[in-house]
């Protein structure tokens, strides 16, 4: 049975790995799309928006509402993919142990 010092060392090592993985999430890029790819949003796995691409065919004054809806849908798609990428990265670090949302180490 590990002693308290060993447990604290293990917790500190796990925290360092989680922090390193969290920092790496800003380097992982995902692309959300909507409208069959007419609108694309690039984001990091941390959810930072890197860019928006809108197909020229949508740049008509009468298409304004549809473009706004497609941009929102593409952002939501990118956010979902960012969350999925982040969860995958954290799962690799925690060895598949599912931590509750917002869980921070050390305890």
State the CATH number of the domain containing residue 70.
Answer: 3.30.1310.10
**Is residue 99's pLDDT more than 70?**
no
What is the pTM for the complete model shown? 0.62
Count of structural domains within the chain: 1
Q: What would the pLDDT profile of 21-59 be if each residue is shown by its tens digit?
A: 777 787 889 999 999 999 999 988 888 889 999 999 988
Residue 75: inside a domain, yes or no?
yes
Q: And the tokens for 12?
A: 């500190």
Full residue range of the structural domain in which residue 62 is found: 32-94
CA distance 24 to 18: 10
Residue 2: inside a domain, yes or no?
no
Residue 60: inside a domain, yes or no?
yes
Tell me how crowded residue 7 is: count the other CB atoms within 10 A of its CB: 11
The residues near 15 (Cβ < 8 Å, ≥ 6 apart) are 105, 106
Residue 5: inside a domain, yes or no?
no
Residue 3: inside a domain, yes or no?
no
Q: What would the pLDDT profile of 56-68 be if each residue is shown by its tens digit?
A: 998 898 988 999 9
Residue 103: inside a domain, yes or no?
no
Residue 45: inside a domain, yes or no?
yes
Residue 18: inside a domain, yes or no?
no
């Amino acid at each position: 049975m590990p002693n308290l010092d060993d447990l604290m060392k293990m917790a500190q090592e796990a925290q360092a790995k989680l922090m390193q993985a969290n920092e790496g999430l800003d380097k992982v890029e995902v692309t959300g799309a909507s409208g069959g790819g007419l609108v694309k949003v690039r984001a990091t796995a941390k959810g930072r928006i890197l860019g928006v691409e809108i197909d020229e065919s949508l740049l008509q004054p009468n298409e304004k509402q549809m473009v706004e809806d497609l941009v929102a849908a593409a952002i939501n798609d990118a956010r979902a993919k960012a969350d999925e990428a982040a969860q995958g990265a954290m799962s690799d670090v925690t060895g598949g142990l599912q931590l509750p949302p917002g869980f921070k180490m050390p305890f």
